[in-house]
A and B are shown apart, each in its own frame.
Chain A
Amino acid sequence: DAKTTQPPSMDCAEGRAANLPCNHSTISGNEYVYWYRQIHSQGPQYIIHGLKNNETNEMASLIITEDRKSSTLILPHATLRDTAVYYCIVRPTNTGTASKLTFGTGTRLQVTL
C-alpha cells in the first residue's frame, strides 16, 4: 500500500507557481521523499527527492516540514507542458527490494492558460 496521501487533482494558471502537497505521516527516519511525474502516454519521470532538508533543482523545489510528516513540491512557473500526474513516494535509503517505487494514484495537475 502507498504510504502517502495526495489530492486527486489540482489546477494552476500558466506562469503561476504550482504547489503540490503530500502527506506522509508514517514516514521512517531512513526514508526519502521522492517525486515523479507522468505526462500522458509517457513513462514516469524523476523530478526531485529529499530526506530532511529542502531541495531545489532545475525542475522544482521540495519543501519538507520539520517533523517530516508532509512535503510540498513547487513548480515555480508552471507551463502547459507541466500538465501531468504527480506522484509522491517514500522510499528507504537501502537498496535491494527496498529500492522499488510504490506508486499511489497521485495528483493530476492541469495547467491552464
Chain B
Amino acid sequence: EAGVAQSPRYKIIEKRQSVAFWCNPISGHATLYWYQQILGQGPKLLIQFQNNGVVDDSQLPKDRFSAERLKGVDSTLKIQPAKLEDSAVYLCASSQTKQYFGPGTRLTVT
C-alpha cells in the first residue's frame, strides 16, 4: 500500500515570497490533515479536511495561510507572504482510523 506522498521535500524561499506544498493521501482516506512542526516541538494541527470540506482550521493563520482539497483527494497548502517564523516542517497526514503521515516538507525562510 502506498503511503502519504508530499512534495517538495525541501524548499528555501526569502521572506515575503509565496510557497505551495502538495499532498496526496492514502487512497480511500477521507480525512486529511496538515500539521506544522517547528524545530524541537511536536507537530501542531493547522487544518483538517473531511473529504473536500474543512472540519477544523482554528489554528490556521488565515491572513497568510490557505489550503484546499478540491476533489476530496489531493491537497495543497499555500503561504503568502512567508515570514521567518514560518520556517518549519509541514506534515500531511491521512486517516480512516489511524493517522498515517507523509515525510514532510522542510521549509526554510531567509
Q: Judge: A and B partners, yes or no.
A: yes
- How would you classify the secondary structure of chain B's contact residues: helix, strand, loop or mixed? strand
**A42-71 to B contact mask, C-beta < 8 Å, 1/0:** 111110010000000000000000000000
Chain B 75-106 against A: per-residue CB contact (8 Å), 1 yes, 0 no? 00000000000000001010100111111100
Q: Does B50 contact A (CB under 8 A)?
A: yes
Interface residues on B, range: 20 to 34
Main secondary structure, interface of A, reads loop
Pair A43/B103 contact, Cβ less than 8 Å: yes
* Chain B residue contacts of A97, Cβ below 8 A: 48, 55-56
Contact of A104 among B42, B45, B56, B103 (CB under 8 A): B42
Can you report 16 residue pairs joining A to B where beta carbons are below 8 Å apart? A43-B93, A45-B101, A49-B98, A87-B42, A97-B48, A97-B55, A99-B31, A99-B48, A100-B33, A100-B45, A101-B45, A102-B45, A103-B44, A105-B40, A105-B42, A106-B42
- 5 closest A-B pairs by beta carbon, nearest first, are A103-B42, A43-B101, A97-B56, A100-B45, A46-B98
